[in-house]
Structure formats: structure tokens, C-alpha cells
Amino acid sequence: MKSDRESGHGAGQRTRFDPVNPYWASFLDQAGLDMTGARGDGCYIETADGRALLDCLAGFGTANLGHAHPALLARFGEALQRTSLNVFPFECADAQRALAEKLLALSSRRYQKVFFATTGAEAVESAVKFAMTSTQRSDVVSFRGSFHGLSMFSSFVTGNPFWTEALPWKPGNVHHVDAANFAALEDVLSSRKVAAVVFEPVAGSSSAQHWTADTSARLAALCRATGTKLIADEVYCGLGRTGTWFGIDAIGTNGVATAAPDMIVVSKGLTGGLVPLSAVLMNDGDFDAVFGAPGKAKVQGSTFGGNRLAIHCGLIVLDLVEHGRLVENAAAMGALIGERIGERFGSRLTLHGQGLALSVALDPQLDISMTDVWLDLIDCGVLAMPNSASPDSLRLSPPLIFGMNEVEVLIDGLDEALQE
């Protein structure tokens, strides 16, 4: 099946969105992807023109409860009616303590402290600041093809020059290596100038990184041997998406306790896509290195980080995910997707990832463009997106409420989109 997409409204769209981003509006229109005004219900969205699409993107993995989840909306609506101050610096709110305790408990008490921020990029940068302060070192290592956000410093930590090539300045303290090149990594870390290595246990925007129990344990051991902090960026893969509460547990550690990262960053799925919130889980030592000195009790922070509404939303979402057994469901549906792809497509498609943090790659011998497959898949009623760091692969990050019926809709859509 081949899409027939024609632009008829590009100029109008460009004018309409001139105060925001006319270039993006024009691209969406030209590609036939403008879905302005879409509404959501569970795993599906309905466009303004009445098309129904199975949402296998879920707001880049934020809508882990699907769209318009009735219990989430009802309980969040109750929180909106309360008169407590939303942003107030002169308190340590009980809700913050409750959410921190919940996150620490989910981590099996591997960590003792939680720092709240707003976005994933902000939390990644915060984790790096903790690492630099704790180690008194200046440099950072990440991996080619990785994605860690688009704020200034996190853009450079992101291992794809596309995001920074227009900038006339580059920091001299960020190093990128290939995920499989331990010799290069050891060479960089041997300088003992590196404060932190940042990695994604299960990558979101790349199909080029495949961490395993062996390689992640080796990475952790190398960091320990050189006094380097290991930061797991689980903004995308954390909080149930991989079929475990944390992505690091999905890939395993071969039972090696010291293979656990020094810090874990979470965000996207924490509030079900309603409001921004992020968190860094860490040990006492790294936390105290920043806040423990006299006069430093508020040396790192975020205006909206830990605001009342976001914290309450996080508590509601984690409760619904836990009681709905959605982590287990993510594991089961991910396994089912793998089975069905193997049965239906054989070597034509390769599936990477864990749980519902998945990427699909085409057999390079096929004379098919993944862009064409993506657009045709949308025409077949399934919404996904190519990976920014690996455009020859397609990201699948559906809601954690994905069921067997949705799996079949996805597989049928892929089958139809692959027809030449």
C-alpha cells in the first residue's frame, strides 16, 4: 500500500501558526499529518475529520494510562479543587515526601533521596550537576545515538549532532563513544576527569543501543573502578514501560548489586501525560555533596519542580499503574508483540527493546523506505513515529493499558503497510 499525500493548505497552515512554528505546521500539512484538534480515548485517538487511530506513540511514552483515563481525570480534578498553595518555597510538603517514598520503595530501596524537577532534560542536567559536585570532576560521557533532552547542556549530552550542529559553540567537556566500544570508553574514563557516564538502559529514539545484563554490568564496573558516577536516563523507559518498574531491571544485572546505577532519572510516564514532573533518585552521599554544606540547602532547585498538582498527579498515576498491574501487562503485551511479529513477518522485521518500549527495524535487503512504511501505517489506522537517531526504525511506545485486541490491530496495520 502506498500513500497518496498531497498538500493543499501549506500556505494557510504556515500563516495560521506564524506566532508558534510555521515551519512545523507546513511540514505536517505537506505530509498529510496535521491532526490538530484530535481527541483521545484509551489507546485510540480520533482526529478532527473523524479518523480513528491506534496510538502507538502515546505522547512519546507519557500517556502510559492511555487518553482520558476516567479515574485519573476524576482524582486529578479533586486535587485541582484544593486550596493548598501550588508553588510555595516555605514548606516540605507531605505529598512530596509520599511520592519520594513511593519511588524509593519501587527501587527496592537502592536509593535514599529524591530530587524533583520539571522536565526530563532538567532532571538529566540536575543529575550531572550532582555528579560533578560529588566527584569534583568536570567531564561527561554519553553514547552516540542517545537522546537526553534539548535544553542547552542536555542537547550536547545527547549523542546526535543533528540537535547542536547550528550552534557556534560547543562545550569541551562532553565526550561521545559508541555503546559497544568499551576500549574507547575505558580510554576516556582513565583520565579520571569524567564525573558521570549517562546512558539509557532501553533507548527511546535509537535502535542502535542494546544494553544487556553483561554490558550494563561491565559499564557499571568500569565506572566504579574509575570513580565515575553512572546515571541511568530512564525518562522514557522508566516506571513500567519496559515491563519492570525500572529499565535497568528489564535488562538485568546478572545479580551483581554493584551494577546498579548511582542515579536514575525518571519523568515521562510519571504523571500520565497531564503535567510535567521529573525526579532523580540517588544515594545520600551524592545528595549531601550538593545540599549538605552550610547555606546550601536550596542551592539546586526548580520553580515548578515538586509543585503540588504535579506531585499529586504522580501519586495518582503510580497508584493506578500499580493496582491495574500495568507493569505486568507491559511485559506480557511486549512479549506478545514479539511473538506475532516473528510469526507474521519472519526476517522482514526485527524487534528491539523491552516491554512496550520497542523499536521495529526493516530488513535492509527490502527495497522499502521506513518513511513510507510509517506514513502507510498511519493510513492503516496506526500511529507511530520513526526514531530520530535511527530513521530506518520505527518507535512503538503505546500506553501500558495496551491489550490483545490492540496488538492484533498493530500487527494487521504493519502487514498492510508492508505490502508493496
Q: Is the pLDDT of residue 63 over 90?
A: yes
Mean pLDDT in residue range 205-224 = 86
Mean pLDDT in residue range 189-218 = 89
**Reported confidence tier of residue 291, pLDDT bands at 50, 70, 90:** very high
Q: Is the pLDDT of residue 336 over 50?
A: yes
Q: Model confidence over 74-119: pLDDT tens digits?
A: 999 999 998 889 998 888 889 999 999 999 999 999 999 999 999 9
Domains of the chain (ranges plus CATH)? 91-323 (3.40.640.10)
For residue 352, the model assigns a pLDDT of 92
Residue-averaged pLDDT of the chain: 92
Mean pLDDT in residue range 283-288 = 97
Mean pLDDT in residue range 349-372 = 92
Rounded Cα–Cα distance for residues 150 and 399 (Å):
24
Rounded Cα–Cα distance for residues 332 and 325 (Å):
11
For residue 206, the model assigns a pLDDT of 66
Mean pLDDT in residue range 166-177 = 96
Cα 81 from chain centre: 30
Q: Model confidence over 216-249: pLDDT tens digits?
A: 999 999 999 999 999 999 999 999 999 999 999 9
For residue 5, the model assigns a pLDDT of 52
Q: Is the pLDDT of residue 318 over 60?
A: yes
**Reported confidence tier of residue 208, pLDDT bands at 50, 70, 90:** low
- CA 9 → CA 22, 29, 230, 342, 379, distances in Å? 12, 7, 49, 41, 19
Cβ(251)–Cβ(241) under 8 Å? no
What percentage of residues in the chain have a pLDDT greater than 90?
79
Lowest mean pLDDT across 10-14, 24-28, 102-106, 343-347 = 10-14
Mean pLDDT in residue range 303-330 = 96
Q: Model confidence over 122-171: pLDDT tens digits?
A: 999 999 999 999 999 999 999 999 999 999 999 999 999 999 999 999 99
- Non-local (6+) Cβ contacts of 206 within 8 A are 145, 146, 147, 200, 359, 387, 388, 389, 390
For residue 7, the model assigns a pLDDT of 45
For residue 392, the model assigns a pLDDT of 84
**Reported confidence tier of residue 8, pLDDT bands at 50, 70, 90:** very low
Rounded Cα–Cα distance for residues 210 and 139 (Å):
24
Cβ(356)–Cβ(333) under 8 Å? yes
Q: Is the pLDDT of residue 4 over 60?
A: no
Q: Is the pLDDT of residue 13 over 80?
A: no
Rounded Cα–Cα distance for residues 302 and 315 (Å):
19
